[in-house]
């Protein structure tokens, strides 16, 4: 048989250990990279959200509701977002990236997210 030789056994064992070590290192490295990617995406999302929130706040503070609607529509054009809404605490949509939603009741799931912070 091929496995009778001590040299063959040592080579096969070394190759197996090396393959297991490389696999484990690759798996851990991929997990670390994935975690860093998610962290970077969250950070950039927070920055964007704060910028949009500040712009909307300033427009609403000076009473320029048309600019608020324009900002929401521009943000809503992103293919990554479904919609952006500002609604009254009672659940009525005041401004939206989808103009057809203005004045209607907010979706119950979105309203519950708002209530539960």
**pLDDT tens, 48-82?**
888 888 888 888 888 887 888 888 888 878 777 77
The pTM of this model reads 0.55
Give the span between the Cα atoms of 13 and 25, in whole angstroms: 18
Mean pLDDT, residues 42-51 taken together: 86
Residues, the chain, total? 117
The share of the chain scoring above pLDDT 90, in percent, equals 27
Give the span between the Cα atoms of 115 and 117, in whole angstroms: 5
- Answer whether 52's CB lies under 8 Å from 71's CB: yes
- Answer whether 32's CB lies under 8 Å from 24's CB: no
Residue ranges covered by each domain of the chain: 8-63, 64-117
Match 């696999």 to its residue by tokens: 23
Q: In this structure, what token pair is assigned to residue 4?
A: 């009778």
**pLDDT tens, 6-27?**
888 899 999 999 999 999 999 9
Residue 52: which of 79, 87, 84, 80 has the closest Cα? Answer: 84
pLDDT of residue 17: 96
pLDDT of residue 2: 61
pLDDT of residue 3: 66
């Amino acid at each position: 048989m091929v496995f009778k030789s001590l040299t063959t056994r040592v080579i096969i064992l070394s190759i197996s250990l090396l393959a297991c070590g490389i696999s484990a290192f690759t798996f851990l490295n991929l997990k670390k990279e994935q975690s860093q990617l998610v962290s970077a995406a969250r950070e950039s999302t927070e920055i964007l959200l704060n910028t949009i929130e500040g712009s909307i706040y300033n427009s609403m503070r000076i009473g320029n509701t048309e600019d608020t609607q324009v900002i929401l529509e521009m943000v809503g054009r992103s293919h990554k977002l479904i919609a952006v809404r500002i609604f009254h605490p009672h659940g009525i949509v005041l401004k939206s990236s989808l103009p057809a939603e203005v004045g209607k009741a907010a979706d119950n799931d979105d309203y519950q997210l708002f209530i539960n912070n």
